[in-house]
Structure 1
């Protein structure tokens, strides 16, 4: 079963999240808007080190006039490895489980044989579905942190009144983060993590749709 023949729907959206792929460069020093907290370097280091977590919530994807929605039953991140369980009624798709790491991803849709992909995730995703997804950066962005790899452009960070990151501009994507709440990660101080994330990108040459991805995270759970 080849990727272009997978049924299009939200479960496939997260099938490629967090994958590695083509090598990208380290980002330049960010451009800062708002007041950067004095302890931001320490907070950023803690966010980078927070790479064992599970989230639950809802997700929607808008492409021009089409809106797809679904439920994230569980998204577990263990450094580069991830395990995502999705539920959706989009196009009649049922439960979907996605497991992978930097090199491969396996998609298992209910009632079908598992499909393992070894391609560059961004290129494969756009070839199949016709709209972009920042698969290398999103695991950093949803924590309120610029991605560790980029296309070479300098990210822009906007801080809110409470010192939290409320906006990131990187690699052509605009990321809005809201509803920050302290999450106990088992260390001396909780991390302030967003519970609403929105990513949007205007059409670019060869990609004729404007895309907006919204995630409402109901729960952040750390694990060791």
Structure 2
């Protein structure tokens, strides 16, 4: 055993010296990379999250024909503007709420309501246009917009989902300017900003098809038309 140790120890010393020599000749190692927690600066707001739903969210009773609905009593899902839960607007169609993204915002529901049947049950759904702004803090108009799609869940009114712009804009969020119902889908027209467009006047046009499967709305890729 002693003879074995005499052979092992010189080899171990030789290996240690060889590794030390390689370390001295090697170039300095690169500094360790630490992931950044900061987001890159951008003048364009973050895209709101998609809001597909596996099951519709019931908000109250509904007439057989949604054209007979008193929309002034219907709450608005605020997720399109980063507001959790439902927002109940006042008689003017407005409400103040707290957004996770923008702080205090004003959520507005307009009278722009489009009806159509996308699920083939011979009862129309309704797409209600909603928006939110910074409550007059700046000169900006809406900072987020959506079409909230309502439909029947038995005899109740339910939120099927919120349709938001999908086309990316240079500085401001894209706008929604039209919606059409078709079997199994909802087709949305968008206006988007090119780099040199003024805030008032987006010059780009795009179309996004949202597919409906049961009570789930899934957006396709936006198609630029101009």
| TM-score w.r.t. length of structure 2 | 0.29
| TM-score w.r.t. length of structure 1 | 0.29
Structure number, greater radius of gyration = 2
